Amino acid sequence: MKIVTILGARPQFIKASVVSNALKHAGIDEILIHTGQHFDSLMSDIFFQDLALPVPHHHLNIHSLNHGAMTGRMMEKIEELLLEQELPDWVCVYGDTNSTLAGALVAAKLHIPLAHIEAGLRSFNRQMPEEVNRVVTDHLAQLLLVPTPLAVQCLQKEGVSQGVHLVGDVMMDAILTYKQKAKQTSDILAKYQLRPEKFYLATIHRPSNTDEQYRLSAIIESLATLDYPVVFPMHPRTTAQIQAMDLERYFALNSIIAIPPVSYLDILMLESFCKAVITDSGGIQKEAYILGRPCFTMRDETEWKETVEVGWNHLVQPETLHSAIANFTPPTEAPTLYGNGDAATQIAELFLASS
Ligand code: UDP
């Protein structure tokens, strides 16, 4: 059996690292197409170096374009590769980026079965480009590999029940796979002289938080005035906006430690030892939960509602961040929400069973 996996963004490299390994163990041939959506070394190469992820067979080098141009050019190249070179049995896509959508549309048009890993997630906010990508991809997929029971329900409500499999979250697998290696090899805590629970970790990169000056400056001001230093690995979009809006003055206060994006092994250490996480990332909300840290999500809604329901994740605004942190009491329980760390193995078995 031959699967073509299409990926292009940081969280997809992390997820693929565990799934590609499971596919290899199951004897399945996998061809990786890297669209190039995330292209700089700290957003892409570093993950191929640190995680057991094979070098992509094809690199499309498509990035830094508006949504239509980016998705369209990706589709053109992917179609060419699938038709003329690879002729796969399945196309596999992850999550909710333009690379996901491009791969899904091409597979559907060429009548190649499509598998979607991390299917069924919904924020119910169609202003988010990711939400549009998720909905379309789920409705085109034949194999929907779903991380949570809530995501199964979301699909059912949209009439999608064929091919839906609750397998758990591959990010749980990734944490279990790399946590020990992170402890052994990462020097990030020493590098920035960070003491356990005496710093916060912040990541902010969603357009709804970065694209308006009033919003981004309010967020940064709320971070700069917390009771402990804030380690802030900055996504390239956020760095560009901070420079364009001249907000770097906040970093002179020393309470924000603004650093380039870090490796997966480094972020696992930051997430494990911080006092709390402040983020608008999807993946980091889950990782904070799995690693037992409180999370304050700078958004109006989240796809990962279970973390909010169990009390470990709070939706905040810049104005409410300080009070939410001050009033936080750790819940007594942290039930298993994201599976047992065998999602990737189950996915490989489902591919084999479908052949
Ligand atoms: N991540 C990382 N280095 C960083 C920031 C994030 O390795 O500097 C990882 C993070 O641990 C998670 C994934 O990237 O596994 C999340 O990616 P991101 O926040 O870019 O995307 P989202 O999950 O919101 O789609």
Number of domains in the chain: 2
What's the CA dihedral at 4, 9, 12, 18 to 10 degrees? 90
* 165 lies in the same domain as 22: yes
Q: Is a pLDDT exceeding 80 seen at residue 151?
A: yes
User: Reading across the β-sheet that carries 164-166, which strands appear in turn?
Assistant: 58-59, 29-34, 2-7, 90-94, 114-117, 143-146, 164-166
Pairing mode of beta strands 276-279, 200-203: parallel
Domain for residue 235, yes or no?
yes
Helix H or strand E encompassing 119 = none
* 222 lies in the same domain as 265: yes
pLDDT tens track for 227-277? 999 999 999 999 999 999 999 888 877 799 999 999 999 999 999 999 999
Domain for residue 94, yes or no?
yes
Cα gap 347→172, rounded to integer Å: 14
Q: How much distance in Å is there from the Cα of 9 to the middle of ligand 1?
A: 9
pLDDT tens track for 101-118? 999 999 999 999 999 999
Domain for residue 174, yes or no?
no
Q: What average pLDDT does this structure show over 149-174?
A: 98
Q: The domain that contains 263 carries what CATH number?
A: 3.40.50.2000
Closest CA to 289 of 279, 299, 298: 279
Q: Which residues lie with the beta carbon below 6 Å from any ligand 1 atom?
A: 10-11, 14, 203, 233, 261-262, 264, 267, 281-284, 287
Q: How much distance in Å is there from the Cα of 110 to the middle of ligand 1?
A: 32
Closest atom of ligand 1 to CA, residue 283: 23
Q: What average pLDDT does this structure show over 20-43?
A: 97
* 186 lies in the same domain as 113: no
* 128 lies in the same domain as 221: no
Give Cα 311 distance to the centre of its chain: 21
Residue to mutate (ligand 1; options 94, 169, 203; most atoms within 8 A of CB) = 203
What is the per-residue pLDDT for 252?
76
* Atom 7 of ligand 1: nearest residue by CA position: 264
Question: Which of 34, 116, 205, 235 is flagged as catalytic?
Answer: 205
Where b means 16+ CB within 10 Å and e means fewer, 81-111 reads bbeeebebebbbbbbbbbbbbbbbbbbbeee
* 145 lies in the same domain as 279: no
Domain for residue 334, yes or no?
no
**Is 38 among the residues known to form the active site?**
no
Helix H or strand E encompassing 7 = strand 2-7
* pTM across the whole model: 0.97
What is the per-residue pLDDT for 173?
98
Domain for residue 333, yes or no?
no
Q: State the residue range of the domain holding 86.
A: 2-169+339-354
* 133 lies in the same domain as 220: no
Cα gap 167→341, rounded to integer Å: 9
* 52 lies in the same domain as 94: yes
What integer best gives the mean pLDDT of the chain?
97
Closest CA to 222 of 237, 202, 208, 236: 202
What is the per-residue pLDDT for 355?
78
* 230 lies in the same domain as 313: yes
Domain for residue 114, yes or no?
yes
Q: How much distance in Å is there from the Cα of 25 to the middle of ligand 1?
A: 26
pLDDT tens track for 265-319? 999 999 999 999 999 999 999 999 999 999 999 999 999 999 999 999 999 999 9
